[in-house]
Structure 1
Amino acid sequence: MAALRQMLRAPPLQARARAWAGSLATSCLADRCLWDRLHAQPRPSSVPTFDWFFGYEEVKGFLLPLLQEGRVACPPRVLDVGCGTSGLCTGLYTQSPHPVDVLGVDFSPVAVAHMNSLLEGGQGQMPLSPGHPASHLCFRQADALNLRPVAPSGSFQLLLDKGTWDAVARGGLPGAHQMLLECLRVLSPQGTLIQFSDEDPDVRLPYLEQTCRSRTVTVQELGPFGGITYFAYLVKGAP
């Protein structure tokens, strides 16, 4: 993954990258124990979250308009699958001027505990305040291949996947395919699934179009961020 290689070279993250590089190079990115170890790494209080690819600031202009498209729920429900310790959920919650109901899920209990602590004001931080008084945020442990314990069918209007499908695919395409089917199951009929990835459209688009035949699949180029061009693959239901 180009984004992973670039992240490991980025000067502000060199110390952390050196600690992670061996595990990332030799381990399966679908292995929960790997992520538990990575999320347990100490971090300065001034950097409470960590983002692969890019953070909320880079894509807020892209995300916020999607929350207003054909809303059938107020606030719209947003699911971040494989949220890790990313600032994507917290950015939406604290900065969206519109009400949002955000759920971040990850199979790593270490990541979930870290984000819930951050939300409540632990780790030397102030409790997070919503950008809109009607907004809500929580984090729960869940496996992206089986979201039934936390997500009924058709219950989310926007589903975010920032590199999670890419990581699951490193463990085998059957698992990645099951994850996509789960994402489609929990998405509302008019909802939108966004897969953020650095994978080329020539590879990703045919797979998504074949699997998501009842929905519209498009791609939008993002960045470059840190010298890398990313793609947002959008899977949309009927308007």
Structure 2
Amino acid sequence: MAALRRTLRVPPLLARARTSAGFLVTSCLADRYLWDRLHAQPRRGSVPTFDWFFGYEEIQGLLLPLLQEGHATCPLRVLDVGCGTSGLCTGLYTQSPHPVDVLGVDFSPVAIAHMNSLLKGGQGQISLSPGHPASRLQFRKANVQKLGPVTPSGSFQLLLDKGTWDAVARGGLPGAHQMLLECLRVLSPQGTLIQFSDEDPDVRLPCLEQTCRGCTVTVQELGPFGGITYFAYLVKSTH
């Protein structure tokens, strides 16, 4: 697991922050203060969200079949851990033809305030409309290593982690391990956790297989997006 300490690529948002807060690019990606500052940065153009790695459109082909499979649960409960100001939650809410109940959580109050404002039509944007009339979306501040205050065990059929494990691991592997255990705790029987990352399967798969006892772990290659190949690590509960 020591291989997880490798240096991560600097996301474009961090690179843009050099001019106004250059010290941020050398900060730990597990530091909430770093993300508060970055999410408060002015956004270029009219795009109100920022996606690390890629956006909803690039992975909807992977997500929609999973939503279709879980159609018996109406609406399907989806948790995005470390949602930041990503368009992943909003994309699911506005574009999924299947009913979804989406919760985005993040430890940055700046990110959560931004997304709640966007949901209500703030920042010069039109209020978001669901792709299915039964769909719901909310954002709440929460520590992904301690999800008890926001959700009980076995609550979600689908958990999404787009780069959050990568960031938390920069603060130490015990924290990343605790985050994974929390994800498994709130995952419902037969539910699926998906970790999106650029980390090589030779490194990530052994870590997941060691921790996720009683689950099946598979990997799908994604992209390349922007010249980079990514991976979707699917952890499916068999309880």
Q: TM-score, normalised by structure 2?
A: 0.92
How far apart are the structure 2 equivalents of 1:190 and 1:128?
Answer: 30
How far apart are the structure 2 equivalents of 1:14 and 1:38?
Answer: 7
How far apart are the structure 2 equivalents of 1:54 and 1:20?
Answer: 24
How far apart are the structure 2 equivalents of 1:189 and 1:100?
Answer: 18
The aligned counterpart of 1:142 is 142
- When structure 1 is superposed on structure 2, of 67-76 and 85-94 the one drifting more is 67-76
The aligned counterpart of 2:165 is 165
The aligned counterpart of 2:30 is 30
**Paired residues of 1:45 and 1:125 also in contact (CA < 8 A):** no
Cα displacement (A) at 1:4: 3.2
Any unmatched runs of 5+ in structure 2?
1-5
Cα displacement (A) at 1:73: 1.8
Counterpart residue identity of residue 228, structure 2:
I
SS class of match (2:9): helix
Counterpart residue identity of residue 81, structure 1:
V
How far apart are the structure 2 equivalents of 1:74 and 1:156?
Answer: 12
The aligned counterpart of 2:117 is 117
How far apart are the structure 2 equivalents of 1:122 and 1:163?
Answer: 27
Per-residue displacement from partner, 1:81-122 (whole Å, max 9, x unpaired)?
000000000000000011100000000000000000000000
- When structure 1 is superposed on structure 2, of 44-53 and 151-160 the one drifting more is 44-53
SS class of match (1:102): strand
The aligned counterpart of 2:103 is 103
SS class of match (2:69): coil
**Paired residues of 2:70 and 2:76 also in contact (CA < 8 A):** no
- When structure 1 is superposed on structure 2, of 24-33 and 119-128 the one drifting more is 24-33
How far apart are the structure 1 equivalents of 2:152 and 2:175?
Answer: 20
1:143-222 alignment to 2 at 5 Å?
A: 143-222=143-222
- When structure 1 is superposed on structure 2, of 91-100 and 20-29 the one drifting more is 20-29
Cα displacement (A) at 1:186: 0.2
How far apart are the structure 2 equivalents of 1:45 and 1:151?
Answer: 36
Cα displacement (A) at 1:25: 3.3
1:48-59 alignment to 2 at 5 Å?
A: 48-59=48-59
Per-residue displacement from partner, 1:104-147 (whole Å, max 9, x unpaired)?
00000000000000000000001000001000000000000000
Counterpart residue identity of residue 137, structure 1:
L
**Paired residues of 2:189 and 2:237 also in contact (CA < 8 A):** yes
Q: How many residues align?
A: 234
Per-residue displacement from partner, 1:167-219 (whole Å, max 9, x unpaired)?
00000000000000000000001100000000000000001001011100000
How far apart are the structure 1 equivalents of 2:203 and 2:96?
Answer: 33
**Paired residues of 1:2 and 1:228 also in contact (CA < 8 A):** no
How far apart are the structure 1 equivalents of 2:217 and 2:95?
Answer: 28
Q: TM-score, normalised by structure 1?
A: 0.92
Any unmatched runs of 5+ in structure 1?
none
Cα displacement (A) at 1:238: 2.3
C-alpha root-mean-square deviation of aligned residues, in Å? 1.9
SS class of match (1:222): strand
CA 1:211–1:105: 2 relative to 1, 3 Å: same
- When structure 1 is superposed on structure 2, of 220-229 and 14-23 the one drifting more is 14-23
How far apart are the structure 1 equivalents of 2:68 and 2:20?
Answer: 38
SS class of match (2:224): strand
Per-residue displacement from partner, 1:35-75 (whole Å, max 9, x unpaired)?
00000111246110000000001001111111122445211
Residues 1:234 and 2:215 are matched in the alignment: no
Select which of 5, 9, 21 maps to 1:4: 9
Counterpart residue identity of residue 228, structure 1:
I
CA 1:19–1:75: 2 relative to 1, 3 Å: farther
Q: Percent identity?
A: 82
The aligned counterpart of 1:46 is 46
**Paired residues of 1:75 and 1:134 also in contact (CA < 8 A):** yes
Counterpart residue identity of residue 105, structure 2:
V
